[in-house]
Every structure is written in C-alpha cells, then in structure tokens.
Chain A
C-alpha cells in the first residue's frame, strides 16, 4: 500500500511533465493539441532510433531529441497551428487530430510495430533500487525521473515568473491583443511556447521509453493521461499540473493493486469526478453559490424576485 503510494507519486512526475506541455499550449496559445501524445511518442522513438541505429550515447541522444523536438514545435506553430488558429475553434481540433493520425501511422510505417524500450541501454539504472527503512524498495530510475520533473517544472515556473520572456508569455496568454499593443509580438511568444511544449512532450516520451515500452500507437493514451492531469490539477498553473500528475499517478498505482485494468479506469473515473465537480461548481456559482443552487433545484423558482 505505502509502496504503491510512493510509486504513484514518482509516476506523477512523469505525468506532470507530459501534462505541462499540454497545459502551456492551452494556456498560452489557447488550443488543445490533440497530437500532443503522438509528439511524445515521436520523441521516444526518435531517441530510441538515435541510440539503437545511429549509435549515439544515451545522454547525447536525449539532448539531440529535446533540441529537435523544440525545433519541431516552433516549426509546427509557425507553419501549421498559426494558420489553423485563424480558422476558428473547429480547425485546430481537426488539424491536430489529422496530425495525430499522420504521426501514428507514419511512425508505424517507419519504425514498425515492435514495442521498444530504452531500458536496455541505460545499464543497471533500469533495475537498481534503494532500500528505505521499513523494507520499502524504491527504484532509482523513478526517483531520478521525479527529481528531473520537479527541476524542469520548477525552472519553467521561474522562467515564466521572473524573466522578460515569462512576462511576455503571461501577458500574451491574458490578452494577446493588449500585449501586442505593448510591444510584445504574440506570434513570437506562441512559437516559443510551442517549442517548449513540444520539447516537454519529447522529454515525457523519453521518460516513457526508459521506464516502459513504447509503440507508435501509445500516443492517444498519453494525450488522455496528460489531459486528465491538467484537468485534475487545474488549468494554467504549473504547481497544479504537478499536483494533478501526482494525483493521477497515485490513483493509478492504487487501482493497480486491485487489477491492471482497474488502474487506468480509476484514473478516468477520478478525472470525470473532478470535471463533474468543477462543472457543478460553475453551475452553482451562476445561481449564486451552492445554497442558492440547491434552493433553485429543490424549491420552485422565486418569480416575484425575478420580475422586480
């Protein structure tokens, strides 16, 4: 039980990195990239290819993948998403789901359907562990990944709150038009935000490749996990994303105690419960808070007041 709890928390770091990119795109560029998970898989398979076929050492492969993914994000924003966003809310959804299909099947055609893992290339790191007092065994890799996740999200937080670039991002996400009046080029901000978001997806993909197996069709599930973490933690805050990722990780780890199938389902159900609660909360506040909302449901509407 405690074992699963710790594993869940550590898994949460991976979900948080995955979710942070999605959250950044949604918060700054204002659309949900439905191909986010597929981009993570691209990062995973790209680094695997570098290691297995090009013979690059793992740390260098990670750096090359992250830079490549950032460049890809910048280019996608420049040449695809910018145009899509100009077409209303419908076009970005259609474009990114088409992109997802193209990426999944393109990677399947290029890399084959073999499930692959970086685990074989990182020496004994993939199985070595520490023994904590009380007989709890913690894998070293999950701890390193969690630490990296906290480090990355922490520096991203500092970048967004303490630097000129961060101010530009925050002002653009609040009101792009007003920001452009103040000398911020929203398009530039969007491109760099997309670069960071896709690089984060790539990092999450590398994490996945290290701790488990990747197939070209792993992307949709990763998108769903990312979205769940974002919604559970609350959109627009990196701390929330980390908490959301940890909650999702813990729920899945606890669900896995019962059966592997329940693990994923438990995550979905917690997500739906949080979403339902939030939607009810919005509905309640529209009616003047919970007390008024309950009154509105259980009593007849107060007509005399509405006519006044």
Chain B
C-alpha cells in the first residue's frame, strides 16, 4: 500500500498569504506615514493578536484552559521595570524580561500541569494573585501605587513609538509564524491528541507531561513578551492592571469569538475585539459587561466561533492546520 500523498497548500490559502504579505509590507512602512495616534493603536492591536494566538495555543491546541495568563503578562512587565531600574537598556531588556518569565513558567509547570480542567483554571488564577501579592512587596512598585518606566522618557517620543511599533510588529509576526511552524510539527499533533483525550494520548506513547510543559512555557513567554511590550507602550506599571483578570477575559473573548482551536480564528477575534473596543469602548462598564454576555452566547450557541460559521457553509477553513490528502482511485 502506498502512503497517501499530502496535497500542497490550497490556492485560496496561497492568495491569502500573498495578501497578508502585502499588508505586512504596508504596516512596516506605516510609521513613516501614519499619525502617532494610529501607530499607538496598532501597537495595541499587535499586542492583542499576540495574546490571542498564545492563549489559543494553550487552550485551543493543548487543552490547558488557563484564566491566569495575566501572571506572565504582569511578570513580563514587572521584570522589565525591575531590570531597567537596575540600569539595563529598555528595548533589549523587553526580550530578556520575557525569557526570565519563561524560567518562572518552567518552575511553575512542574506543579501546575498535574491538575485537571477546572482545578487547573482556578489554580492558575490563584498563582497570578500570589505573584501579584509578592511583586507588591517590592519597594519600587510601592504596593498598589505602581511605578513608571521613566528610563523611556530619555528617548525622543517619535523614535520611541517607532521602535516599539517595529518591535511589536516583529514579535507578532514571529509569534504567529512560529505557532504555525510549531503546530505543523509533531508537537502540534501530539498536543491536540492530549487535548482530545489525555489518557488515550499517553497510551499511544506520547510524553503528555513534556508536550504540555513545552506548550505552557512557550505560551507563557509569548504572553510575557506581549506584556512587556504593552508595559513599554503604557509606561505605567500598576500591579492591579498588569496582573488583572481582565486580560484573561479579553483573551478568552478573542479566541472564542474567532474560533478556538483554529489557526486564523484568534487573529480574526483580535481584529474584531479591537474594532469593538474602538466603537463601544467609551461605554466603559456596559461595554465590558456586553463583552461578557457575547462570550457566553458564543460559548453556548457558537462554540466554534466565526470560523465555525464559515465551515458550516461548506467552505474550507482558511489556513487550516489539517493535512489535506489525495485519495488514491
């Protein structure tokens, strides 16, 4: 029996990738043309995309539903503030902060990944609260007051914005592309097997703990990097904001509405969430309550999100990670 042949990428997907390439080229040139406001907003959009893609990797592909990724968002920001305070240059330190947070995630993973589903979810939240309480003991954070990344004020605002914009854009492209490559590889199939049935996955020889640990660390470093970038653009570090559970609600909303466990879903979700925030953000609490209600409705009635709607109409999932096989006649 000859093995089935895998087909190359669909023509529509290739067209989509060309389009994405053009958009990215346009985005690279944008800061020289666009206004400061637009650049700032786009930095936030890139950060949202990173959060969504990382949470989808964790929950959608490895089945690790965390409501405590704000632990790493906050830690990334805190590490940046701490290291810059110690005299390191701000921009390269963003990446160092993310790497250091990865070490924390590695240490936590031994403990966290032994829990299941709901227990894991609440425990991640408790860990985030615990880390926040510990960080608040640091004298430079001054408890609830927080602190600012004053070292950034030494740079010209336009230069600072430009550098941050390009760093965020680059990080986003690396994260989205890296996720694509990662999920195409063996670990992608393994993590999905674990998500669907952990015992069955273990019984066919997958080192379930190791796979979950890798995904957990990657997703945490990703969140820390996005968190550090967000802090660098927001400048002020406040423990309640950086470690706030609202990040988890945002991530969940973007991934759920876009389509959990699909590649393109979280990116669509992030774009939609960004648009909603621009349009309805002024309504404050009512807007956030609405976000919660929409999340409930999607979870109950459209759990596969917008991509699910697309699939229901009999179309192929764009940029699907599923392998397409040619059937032998």
Chain A residues engaging chain B, CB cutoff 8 angstroms: 26, 31-32, 34, 80, 83-84, 87, 89-95, 97-106, 108-109, 220-221, 223-224, 227-228, 261, 264-265, 268-269, 271-272, 275-276, 279, 282-283
- Cβ-defined partner of B293 (8 Å) among A84, A87, A92, A102: A102
- Cβ-defined partner of B65 (8 Å) among A84, A90, A228, A283: A90
Please determine whether A34 and B134 come into contact, CB atoms closer than 8 angstroms.
no
- Cβ-defined partner of A98 (8 Å) among B111, B118, B136, B252: B252
Chain B residues whose C-beta falls within 8 Å of the C-beta of A223 in the assembled complex: 122, 125
Chain B residues whose C-beta falls within 8 Å of the C-beta of A106 in the assembled complex: 285-286, 289, 292
- Cβ-defined partner of B292 (8 Å) among A103, A221, A276: A103
Please determine whether A89 and B118 come into contact, CB atoms closer than 8 angstroms.
yes
7 contacts between A and B (CB under 8 A): A91-B300, A102-B290, A102-B295, A261-B137, A268-B133, A275-B115, A276-B111
Chain B 59-79, CB within 8 Å of chain A: the 1/0 string? 100010101000000000000
- Cβ-defined partner of B143 (8 Å) among A104, A261, A265, A272: A261
- Cβ-defined partner of B126 (8 Å) among A32, A105, A224, A276: A224
A265 to chain B minimum Cβ distance, whole angstroms, is: 4
Please determine whether A98 and B122 come into contact, CB atoms closer than 8 angstroms.
no
A261 to B143, CA, bound (A): 9
A84 to B303, CA, bound (A): 10
A197 to chain B minimum Cβ distance, whole angstroms, is: 14
Please determine whether B130 and A268 come into contact, CB atoms closer than 8 angstroms.
yes
A96 to chain B minimum Cβ distance, whole angstroms, is: 9
B251 to chain A minimum Cβ distance, whole angstroms, is: 10
A159 to B117, CA, bound (A): 29
Most buried by A among B134, B136, B249: B249
Chain B contacts with A in 248-304, Cβ cutoff 8 A: 248-249, 252-253, 256, 260, 284-296, 299-300, 303
In the complex where A80-B296, A95-B299, A224-B129 touch, is A261 in contact with B67 (Cβ < 8 A)? no
- What is the predominant secondary structure among interface residues of chain A facing chain B? helix
B123 (CB) vs chain A CBs: closest residue: A275
B60 (CB) vs chain A CBs: closest residue: A90
Kindly state whether residue B114 has any CB partner on chain A within 8 Å: yes
- Cβ-defined partner of B296 (8 Å) among A26, A102, A261: A102
Chain B residues whose C-beta falls within 8 Å of the C-beta of A282 in the assembled complex: 114
Please determine whether B299 and A94 come into contact, CB atoms closer than 8 angstroms.
yes
Kindly state whether residue B316 has any CB partner on chain A within 8 Å: no
Please determine whether A109 and B67 come into contact, CB atoms closer than 8 angstroms.
no
Q: What 5 new A-B contacts, CB under 8 Å, besides A98-B295, A98-B296, A109-B284?
A: A87-B299, A93-B67, A103-B292, A106-B292, A220-B245
Chain B residues whose C-beta falls within 8 Å of the C-beta of A94 in the assembled complex: 65, 252, 256, 295, 299
Chain B contacts with A in 202-220, Cβ cutoff 8 A: none
Please determine whether B118 and A271 come into contact, CB atoms closer than 8 angstroms.
no
Across the A-B interface, give the 10 residue pairs with the lowest CB-CB distance, nearest first.
Answer: A102-B292, A98-B295, A101-B292, A32-B118, A105-B289, A105-B288, A109-B285, A106-B289, A265-B133, A268-B130
Chain A residues whose C-beta falls within 8 Å of the C-beta of B303 in the assembled complex: 87, 90-91
In the complex where A94-B256, A220-B245, A224-B129 touch, is A99 in contact with B292 (Cβ < 8 A)? yes
Chain B contacts with A in 179-216, Cβ cutoff 8 A: none
- Cβ-defined partner of B300 (8 Å) among A80, A101, A105: A80
